[in-house]
Amino acid sequence: MYAVVDAGGKQAKVAEGEKVLIELVEAEAGATVELRPLLVVVDDRVVSAKDELMSASVQAEVLGVVKGPKINGFTYKSKANERRRYGHRQRYTQVVIKSIAV
C-alpha cells in the first residue's frame, strides 16, 4: 500500500514506515501531522475519487528539521567588475509515515 500526498505544494510518494523530507511544517519533534492524500493504492485498487479521498488519511510523526544540500550561486556582469557569490540551504521537515487509512 502506498499513497501520493500533497506536502507544501509538492507531491511525494509515501509508504508506511518510510522516512520522507517534506516542506517545512510548524510542528514540534514527536508531534503527529496529517497529510492530504491525492491518490491511494491498495493492492490492485486505486482510490483517486474526491469523495473517497475525503475519508482517507495519512498520519506522519515529525522527527525534526533537517537541512538540504548547499546550493552555491555566482552572478557577474562582464566589463563592469561586478561579482557576487551567494549560498543557500533549504530547511525541510523529516517525517516518518505511521499509517495510511482509506
pLDDT digits (tens, 9 = 90+) for 30-89: 999 999 999 999 988 999 999 999 999 999 999 999 999 999 999 999 999 999 999 999
Residues near 50 by Cβ (< 8 Å), separated by ≥ 6? none
Hey, where are the domains in the chain?
Answer: 2-101
Residues near 23 by Cβ (< 8 Å), separated by ≥ 6? 7, 8, 9, 10, 92, 93
What torsion do the CA atoms of 23, 27, 33, 36 make, to the nearest 10 degrees? -40
Residue 29 scores a pLDDT above 90 = yes
Residue 8 scores a pLDDT above 90 = no
Residue whose C-alpha is closest to residue 59's, from 92, 98, 29, 18: 98
Alpha-carbon gap, residue 100 to 42, rounded angstroms: 10
Residue 102 scores a pLDDT above 90 = no
